[in-house]
A and B are shown apart, each in its own frame.
Chain A
C-alpha cells in the first residue's frame, strides 16, 4: 500500500491514470461547510499533534506539498 502511495516513478504514476482519478474525484470529496477529517501528524522536530487540537483554539491553513 505504501509502495503505491510513495511511487518512485512519476511517469508510471501518470500512465497508470492515478493522477486523473485523484484530480477527478477531488471536486466531489468534502465541501466547504462540512467537518474536516481529523488525523495525527508530527510537527517537525516537535511533538505529535492531532488536527483537532490545532483547530480547537484557532483556524488552520493546511498547505499540502513536497519539494516540487
Chain B
C-alpha cells in the first residue's frame, strides 16, 4: 500500500492490566502477550516487541498509542500523540506523491488533528482485559474530572 514505508506495530507495556491480562512480569510473558495480541486482535502488521523495561518506548516518550513516521535514513517526518491510521495514511500518500528532486521540498508543521472516539470498542477492550481494568479506568476518569475542575478553579 505504501511501498516506501514498512508499517510496524510496536508492542509496549499493557496500558490497562486486568485479571485476564496482567502487567508483564518478564520478557517471556510480554512475548506471550504479543502473540495473543496478534492472534486475538488479528494484527497483520509485523509486531516489534520492546524489552520488558520499555527502552524504546521510553526513548519515544512513553505514550500508549502514539505514531511516528521515520524517513529512510532515520529522520523524524511525523510525530503524533495518538494514532489515526487514516491520518498517517494520508501523510504517506502526500509524501509519496511529491516529485523527486528540486521540484519539491518539505516544511515543518504542527497541528491538532481530529480523531473519532470509539468508546464502546474501548469499553469492550477493558472488559476483555478483566473487571479490574473496567473499574480502574472508571476511577481514573474521576481523577481526570477532578483535575479538570481544579484547573477551572485556578484559572
Residues 130-146 of chain B: 1 if any A CB is under 8 Å from the residue's CB, otherwise 0? 00110111011001100
- CB pair B60–A11 under 8 Å, yes or no, is no
* Residue in B closest to A42 when the chains form the complex, CB atoms: B49
CA distance A2 to B24 in the complex (A): 9
Q: For A49, what are the chain B residues with a Cβ–Cβ distance below 8 Å?
A: 48
- CB pair A57–B72 under 8 Å, yes or no, is yes
Most buried by B among A8, A35, A43: A8
- CB pair A65–B9 under 8 Å, yes or no, is yes
Contact A59-B71, Cβ < 8 Å, known A30-B60, A65-B11: yes
Contact A33-B75, Cβ < 8 Å, known A41-B48, A65-B12, A68-B15: yes
Interface: B62 (CB within 8 A) = yes
Residues 3-37 of chain A: 1 if any B CB is under 8 Å from the residue's CB, otherwise 0? 00111111110110000101101100111111111
Q: For B10, what are the chain A residues with a Cβ–Cβ distance below 8 Å?
A: 41, 62-65
CA distance A55 to B67 in the complex (A): 15
B1-52 with Cβ < 8 A to chain A: 2, 4-17, 21-25, 31, 33-38, 41, 45-52
Min C-beta distance of B48 to chain A, whole Å: 4
CA distance A33 to B68 in the complex (A): 12
On A, residues with C-beta under 8 Å from B are 1-2, 5-12, 14-15, 20, 22-23, 25-26, 29-46, 49, 51-52, 54-68
A1-B53, A6-B13, A59-B71 known, 18 other contacts, Cβ within 8 Å? A10-B136, A14-B143, A31-B108, A36-B68, A46-B46, A49-B48, A51-B70, A55-B72, A58-B72, A63-B10, A63-B85, A63-B88, A65-B65, A66-B14, A66-B37, A67-B21, A67-B37, A68-B126
